[in-house]
Amino acid sequence: MDKLKKVLSGQDGDNDDINILQAANEASSLGWGTRVKGFIACFVIGVVCSVLGVCMLWIPRIGLALFAIFYTLGNFASLCSTMFLMGPLKQLKKMCEKTRALATAIMLSGLVLTLCAAFWWRNNGLALLFCILQFLAFAWYGLSYIPFARDAVIKMFSMCLK
């Protein structure tokens, strides 16, 4: 109705204040039940891809490359699943917050580098290294959403190393 009022009053000219991400966020307004179903579906797909990747690890010659591919797809689907709960714009903003920016950058770099190592460079050792990097960065990123979880992990490891 507001848009109709703007058009009729001649104010519907240039909408420079709305950027592409805001428009996408507004266009994808889903109900809470649909958001939860989308989250569950994406998360289950992510877990299934990750488990399937682990199962593929034991296939001779191509197993490690298949593991890297499925594990990366699983992490990507799991990461996208949270966008259903928060919305894409809010998720991207939270990913770039000061406390998560480094973990996000390492995680996304790990996703890309794993696929490069599997497809382009065809180096299974690097693909495995980048999968480990993905796992650690994704775990550190996930811990940032739990209050004081990172501090507890740091304290636990410091006690173990003493």
pLDDT per position as a tens digit, 44-92: 999 999 999 999 988 888 888 899 999 999 999 999 998 998 888 899 9
- Among candidates 21, 140, 17, which has minimal Cα distance to 87? 21
* Cα torsion angle, 119, 120, 122, 126, sign: negative
CB count within 10 Å of CB 63 equals 15
Tell me the pTM. 0.76
3-class DSSP state of 101: helix
Rounded CA gap, 36 and 30, in Å? Answer: 10
Rounded CA gap, 111 and 71, in Å? Answer: 9
